[in-house]
Amino acid sequence: MKVLVIGGNGQLGKTLSDTVSPSIAFKALDLPDIDITSAESVETVMSREKPDVVINAAAYTAVDRAENEPEMAFAINAKGPENLALSAKKDHFRLIHISTDYVFDGTACTPYRPDVPCRPLGVYGNTKYQGEVFVQSILDHFIILRTAWLYSRYGANFVLTMLRLMKEKEALNVVVDQVGSPTWTGTLSETIWNMVEKPEISGIYHCSDAGVASWYDFAVAIQEEALRLGILEKKIPVSPILSKDYPTPAKRPSYSVLDCTQTWRDLDMSPLHWRSALQKMMHPEKQAGGF
């Protein structure tokens, strides 16, 4: 089986490269090798590579900057998936498209099921939702896999940012009234590879680690684990604040916990609590730069 990952330089793309089975013919691409905003670029690459499965891990993820760059966000998050879906229909490959919890408005009080109507709050969430709509309208057989609060030992993410700030600052304030499920790219990659091995799987799925946390809870856990492992030398005060006290250009959902029960059932996977996943990611054997 030949699998092509788009967005190979991102944190998910790199984790997929780390975890791929030797039995899979695997290739990871990113700019400038492929530009998903260009239908011509997509078709040229797909005609040459002839993949069986394409995993679209490419995205415009700068949530606040997207408010001022809606055209670029739309090109990558909506037009890109459309181009890939059109190519999948023509060239007969399976498309696994990665989406986000930000397609929801955060007004729920129980975890969002995959079939709940989407009501994104900002440009980022809206363009990701439009990408989902394009994929569903073009393909009969597809996977849209929504995830949330993604982190890894690669790139820019909340865990690496917190570790850096905890070394630089004497104290930190972290938002406490936004709640979700932190998700390690290791969990997401395992889910994706299970989906690759099950060609009958189709539709919208959710993937996050189990359990619930605020950004404040997540930050406290990061510091505790880092101190235990010797990644940080000293403890600093971490205080909870409200979103209104830390205004951002983009409005974020206050609650974006995803219901992953269908994913766990269909893939015969056991849920991993987010705190256990964080411990796995931060374990000394996993450390390679960044820490």
Nearest CA to 138 out of 197, 188, 192, 97 is that of 97
- How do strand 143-147 and strand 94-100 relate by DSSP bridges? parallel
Phi, psi at 124, each rounded to 5°: -55, -55
Q: Which of 60, 112, 124, 205 is catalytic?
A: 124
* Helices within the chain (DSSP H only): 11-19, 39-49, 70-74, 80-91, 123-138, 158-168, 185-196, 215-229, 261-266, 274-282
Does the N-terminal peptide bond of residue 32 adopt cis geometry, omega within 30 degrees of 0?
Answer: yes
- The C-alpha atoms of residue 187 and residue 274 are separated, in whole angstroms, by 10
Is residue 255 annotated as a catalytic residue, yes or no? no
Q: Distance between alpha carbon 80 and the CA centroid of its chain, in Å?
A: 16
Residues with catalytic roles: 124
